[in-house]
Structure 1
Amino acid sequence: MKCTECGKNKTTQGEFCESCFNETKICRRCQQRKSIFEFQKNQKSIAGKISRRGECQDCRKWKKPIPMKMRVEYEKTNPMPPLGKPFHCPVCEKTIIRQFKNDVVLDHFHLNGEIRGWICRQCNSSIGMMDEDVNILKRAIKWIQGILHIFF
């Protein structure tokens, strides 16, 4: 059997040889196995290991960043809360003392870059993981409330 990626003979049962399998990743949005180089670098650990985003570059194209001019204008009237000062998140309603540069983020609508405002990193990540989809968020609420039941 041949690897579908490189064409070399493979010793495992999957569609890839071991080296290609180790250099591929499944996109969480399109569910396709792709080369790790099709995923943007995300972070680098202290040990030097590079992690990559969960979505391939093709699937991330719809996520527009905040245009710099719009961000600068917004920050003139709504400055980022300073480090060491309390910040009240309008989503989770928790008050945190800012300790890090990225513990408060400027949230925006990814389809058009429109700014929504400052929120805590946890809320921003949660909204992003739910694809900013109100229907997914409603189902998550039903799940937490015990209303949504799935039978297999």
Structure 2
Amino acid sequence: MNINNFVIANKDIDNIVKNSVGVIKALNGNSAIVLFIGKNELKRTEIENLEIIDIYKTGKGYKNKICNICHILKPINDFEINQTDAKGIKTTRPSCRECRKAIDGVKLSNAEKRRMDKIAPAKGSIFVCPICEKRSIVGVTANLVRDHNHETGEGREWICDSCNTGLGRFKDNPKFLEKVIEYLHKYEK
């Protein structure tokens, strides 16, 4: 084992669960200091509790994949199928089913879906997204989605699917969106 090797815990180590992925930061005799990525924690452990992994032999085309949230090496069937690529090969979501539960949060209730459906823009009508202000023809040049609060399950508005994806990427968190604004201002000319 060497510094900067990627490893997995081959057993539970305190709050680090088996198969958690880490990187060796220091070695001292029979022990290592490992940064476990999912918990963002440094742990000292015996080398015998670790196993080197080739991170490039995980994911699509392999039997195991590293979740991009918890950073635990899991069987590929612990990940939902997300899309099919141009070659017809199924692609899985980057995060495991367990982490997706936290990401997805509270779903819209059927009553809330019905309420939002009553205010849905008509197919073929012109729609202006309340976030990006993009104009589109409903059902032709854009897909619309029911946006909702993932903590409460309460519906907000209909928005374009691009903005919905964007909100999801930033976890519906104004703090992250403020950081995006700061970042853009930093590189303004």
Q: 1 or 2, which has the higher strand percentage?
A: 2
* Offset, 1:106: 0.5
- Residue 41 (structure 1) aligned with residue 81 (structure 2): yes
Q: Verify the 8 A CA contact 2:136 2:142 in the aligned structure 1.
A: no
Structure 2 distance, partners of 1:33, 1:137, is 30
Structure 1 distance, partners of 2:166, 2:79, is 20
TM-score by length of 1: 0.74
Residue matched to 1:116: 156
SS at match of 2:68: coil
Structure 2 distance, partners of 1:69, 1:47, is 39
Q: Verify the 8 A CA contact 2:58 2:66 in the aligned structure 1.
A: no
- Residue 129 (structure 1) aligned with residue 133 (structure 2): no
* Offset, 1:114: 0.9
Flag the 1:141–1:112 CA change in 2: closer, same or farther, 3 A: same
**Gaps in structure 2 of 5+ consecutive residues:** 1-7, 11-18, 20-51
How does 1:51-70 map onto structure 2 within 5 Å?
51-62=91-102, 63=104, 64-70=106-112
SS at match of 2:74: strand
* Offset, 1:73: 2.4
- Residue 25 (structure 1) aligned with residue 65 (structure 2): yes
Structure 1 distance, partners of 2:124, 2:135, is 12
Percent identical across equivalent pairs?
Answer: 30
- Superposed CA RMSD in Å reads 2.8
Q: Verify the 8 A CA contact 2:123 2:139 in the aligned structure 1.
A: yes
Structure 2 distance, partners of 1:113, 1:60, is 16
Q: Determine which structure has more spread, i.e. the larger CA radius of gyration.
A: 2
The residue type equivalent to 1:65 in the other structure is K
Residue matched to 1:14: 53
Structure 2 distance, partners of 1:45, 1:120, is 23
- Residue 97 (structure 1) aligned with residue 132 (structure 2): no
How many equivalent pairs are there? 135
Offset from partner CA, 1:25-83 (integer Å, 9 cap, x none)? 2222222222211111112346431111122111111222211222112322x12x233
